[in-house]
Amino acid sequence: MTHPVDLPAWQALTHDFQRTRNQHMRELFAQDPQRAERYWLEVGEMVLDYSKNRIDDTVLAHLIELAQQSGLQERIGAMFGGEKINLTEQRAVLHTALRNRSNTPVYEDGENVMPQVNAVLAKMGRFADAVRGGRWTGYTGQAITDVVNIGIGGSDLGPLMMCSALKPYGHERLSMHFVSNVDGTQLRGVLEKVRPETTLFVIASKTFTTQETLTNARTAREWFLRDAGEADIAKHFVAVSTNHEAVAAFGIDTEHMFEFWDWVGGRYSLWSAIGLPIMLYLGETHFVRMLEGAHLMDQHFAHTPFERNMPVILALLGIWYSNFYGASTHVIAPYDQNLHRFPKFVQQLDMESNGKQVQADGTPVATTTGPIIWGETGINGQHAFFQLMHQGTHLTPADLIVSLEKRSNLPGHHEILLSNAIAQAEAFMRGKTAEEARAELLAAGMGEAEAQALIPHKTFSGNRPTNMILLEKIDPFNMGALVALYEHKVFVQGVVWGINSFDQWGVELGKQLAKTVLAELTGEMDAQAHDASTMRLIKRYRRANCETDGTCHLLD
Ligand code: F6P
């Protein structure tokens, strides 16, 4: 398999990097009055201003060539066309079919998947409508007031993020709760707030074998059965999964199971039945609007030339910083409180997809791959970690995401929020020269000697890249488009790096070892051959807990 470093475009970019690395964006803006206009893209109600990046037209052209030489167009066709591009699991990758609002046939193994996609969507719609309308009642005949989603990773983060982003669209009677952590304090905290007779549990697990989810689900069922009978479970527990047998074995009638398929990756699954909590909270119409927003981005991605293609441009900029500037992280900073879960969502999407060390054919990669994704609401980040982004020694490219629509009707708040987002992007780009710092200090009445001592601390190198993503408003349609934008960005980067973005073998080793360690911690099994540190940790735990577990006699 070709390594990206062997492509002619990569060589050209290596030269570009040497040529441009000392250029300052201030100069680039000064030289080109059209820069902001030219490095600006619009899709639907979303804008990407990428002018505050360390690029010029030549760099951009070579990045586009890199995408072309990586065979991106062909890979896009393969993904949308249902080819088994997830090679290690021999699976197609068809989350785009889940939001294929044109309803044109999409084939997987020769079968059009659209009828089953539409059937599950309709079943979700009927169920959500009944719950929201108060016709689906609990075992005492009362309407549902609380929905508890029990799931982890992709079976948690997407619905959690969307429900919090779209809170203003939520049903007023319904409170949404999300339990992912097997640390019992999370489930207990939720169970203390809800009543069994008005609570609906959604057990969400693609595999229905995930230890954390099944443990939480069993505990929730035991809690429920303290007040209700076995026959009442049907009104209060539904499952979302690909695994009928395991759902039935757990005791949930598969009539109350919402199905999806192995061609939907966990971190790409919020569009599927995994999105049931979203539909319960927002209603079918808004859920479909979310699918429409994603579909718009899919169409844009599949059919727009790379130089005007938003996910492609975002992806290539990321590659420019990761692989040429050596930036190892990427910050997601939404200037919106309801988007506070968005960085965590993108973190799983990107890092579980592109945290890979071998190419799709199993040979080691020749470049760094997926960056570390982190972030927080921008305004809170400004008072926490932005210091490092402004003056630290790491280059930390960032996406700033803002809503143009005022998000609350509290006077003055949105303007302050927006002014901060725009000013931060300007500050990252411009920085402050020593001369500017000196002039400021002297103007404030400071003496020359004192000013000289402070100048190095008050100087900002600037030249720090940001993308500004503007949404007309945070609504279901735009959120659909925004998530699809990031999904496709991750895909493009995976294609350029030649990796499989759709498996996640890296999470398996820990799961496997935890099974042995669990048996050892509980005293079911003697501690086996581990390294000295692991042995010591296991023994220390057993000593601390043997009295409550009644296993002290088993200790050495
Ligand atoms: O362990 C990682 C992972 O497999 C994720 O990829 C997935 O989203 C999560 O666990 C949950 O898996 P499941 O939906 O099968 O419970």
Tens digits of per-residue pLDDT, 57-66? 999 999 999 9
Q: How many residues does the chain have?
A: 556
Q: Which residue is associated with the tokens 């609380």?
A: 146
Q: What is the pLDDT of residues 485-525, one digit of tens each?
A: 999 999 999 999 999 999 999 999 999 999 999 999 888 88
If one residue of 91, 207, 210 were mutated to test the ligand 1 pocket, choosing by the most ligand atoms within 8 A of its CB, it would be: 210
Q: Give the confidence band of 526 by pLDDT, cuts at 50, 70, 90.
A: confident
Q: Is 511 known to be catalytic? A: yes
What pTM did the predictor assign? 0.97
Minimal CA–CA distance to 172: which of 208, 129, 132, 120?
132
Query: Is the pLDDT reported for residue 478 higher than 90?
Result: yes
Query: Is the pLDDT reported for residue 528 higher than 80?
Result: no
Number of H helices, E strands in the chain: 24, 13
Q: Is the CB of 289 under 6 A from ligand 1?
A: no
If one residue of 504, 508, 509, 511 were mutated to test the ligand 1 pocket, choosing by the most ligand atoms within 8 A of its CB, it would be: 504
pLDDT of residue 466: 98
pLDDT of residue 369: 98
Ranges of CATH 3.40.50.10490 domains, the chain: 4-17+37-70+304-430+465-503, 107-288
CATH code for the structural domain at 107-288: 3.40.50.10490
Q: Is 9 exposed, middle or buried (0-12, 13-18, 19+ CB in 10 A)?
A: buried
pLDDT of residue 1: 85
So what's the architecture of 4-17+37-70+304-430+465-503 in CATH? 3-Layer(aba) Sandwich (3.40)
What is the distance in A from the centroid of ligand 1 to the CA of 470?
31
Query: Is the pLDDT reported for residue 556 higher than 70?
Result: no
Q: Which residue is associated with the tokens 């069922």?
A: 221
Closest Cα to atom 8, ligand 1: which residue? 154
Q: Is the CB of 159 under 6 A from ligand 1?
A: no
Q: 3-class SS at 43?
A: strand
Closest Cα to atom 10, ligand 1: which residue? 153
Catalytic residue among 108, 197, 352, 520: 352
Report the distance separating Cα 212 and Cα 426, nearest Å.
44
If one residue of 95, 149, 203, 206 were mutated to test the ligand 1 pocket, choosing by the most ligand atoms within 8 A of its CB, it would be: 206
Minimal CA–CA distance to 497: which of 505, 486, 489?
489
